[in-house]
Copies of this chain bind each other. A is one copy, B any other.
Amino acid sequence: MQQDRIPASTARSSHVPSTGVARFLAACRHEQPDATPIWFMRQAGRSSQGYHELREKYDVLTLIKTPELCTRMTMMPVESFGVDGAVLYADIMLPLEGMGIDFELRTEGPVIHNPIRSAQDVEALRLMNIQESVPYILEALRLVRRELEGKQAVIGVTGGPFTLACYMIEGKPSRDYATAKALMYSQPDLWHALMEKVTDVVTEYALAQISAGADVIQIFESWIGTLGPSAYRRFVLPYTQRIFAAIKQTGAPAIHFGTGAASLLESMAEAGGDVISVDWRVELDTAWERIGLERGIQGNLDPTLLLTSWPVVEAGMQDVLRRAANRPGHIFNLGHGIPMAADPDLLRRLVEAVHETTKR
């Protein structure tokens, strides 16, 4: 379904032309791109030129829900940093609005006014039509795709089912998601009923993004690291597996992201994803061996390095690249999102240096 975007003959040769999208998709397909592709989680709306200007005029939800403004926010880091992919300026909570979840986005994270605590709450959740609930996201994706002119990859994103369920139950950001996990452990039927619904929505949302022009989808399981392997396999894996299976049918590649998930890597790989995104708490080479070298890997510079200086960032980059060992299937990224206080100049230099160092 997506293959028509790169001529098959090129996509299958060992060296593909040097556009960001070709580079990005080659890595996803475990082919050798002309250089290692790079992008940054939370690149939209952090550190870009012009970001603060727009944020002074509009609140976050207006920026997200106005396709032209959202497109502007999304394009900024592509222009400022030279990354190989554009990721939508959006929030993982958005598709939950159509389910009847009433939230607001605060600096510290989403706060939900009607958290899920009972079987009735789960029952009351609507299964919305994504085209109707987030038309602005799909429209922004189309606009971004047009503006990129096939030069960079369009990266669609969605929260993973565990992370969304955690927010829905907990009602606010948390260090340990104790309320959500206590409900998961003590009322497994309720948990599974919720996960069924969330999985349907996430699947529909991912497929709609692909139809609207996303070249690749990243599933953010940001809080998965609060679980151990048994709990993950029992309460999450079957749902994530279903989402990745549905994406696979479209032909678009998928990236599976988790943080603090050092003990879950094999299980996450089993759940799915052409590329597994790992954080800096594991060494990239060790992680790659554990998920299997036939799979792609994304990561994994410690974002904290962006608060230092270029020689320190460069040393960190060299270490990541040394561990990636020039194998096909590596997408360079941070282990998690760009810190608020990151120096934009370091981001620019990092993109340039990764491309330069890995030129093949």
Interface residues of A (CB under 8 A from B): 175-176, 178-179, 181-182, 185-186, 225-231, 260, 262-263, 280-283, 286, 302-305, 307-309, 312, 316, 319, 339, 341
Contact = CB atoms under 8 A, between A and B. Distances in A.
A154 B303 CA distance: 41
Contacts of A341: 178
21 contacts: A179-B307, A181-B302, A181-B304, A185-B305, A185-B312, A186-B308, A186-B309, A225-B260, A225-B281, A226-B281, A228-B282, A228-B302, A229-B283, A231-B302, A260-B281, A262-B262, A262-B263, A262-B281, A263-B281, A263-B283, A263-B286
A230 B287 CA distance: 14
Contacts of A312: 185-186
B228 A308 contact: no
A175 B178 contact: no
Contact of A307 (B178, B226, B281, B319): B178
B228 A182 contact: no
A310 to B, nearest CB: 11
- State the oligomeric state as a number of copies: 2
B228 A304 contact: no
Interface SS, A side: helix
A181 to B, nearest CB: 4
A281 B230 contact: no
Nearest to A227: B281
A316 to B, nearest CB: 8
Given A179-B307, A185-B302, A186-B312, 17 more contacts: A178-B307, A178-B339, A178-B341, A181-B302, A182-B304, A182-B305, A182-B307, A186-B308, A186-B309, A225-B281, A228-B282, A229-B282, A230-B283, A231-B302, A260-B260, A262-B281, A263-B282
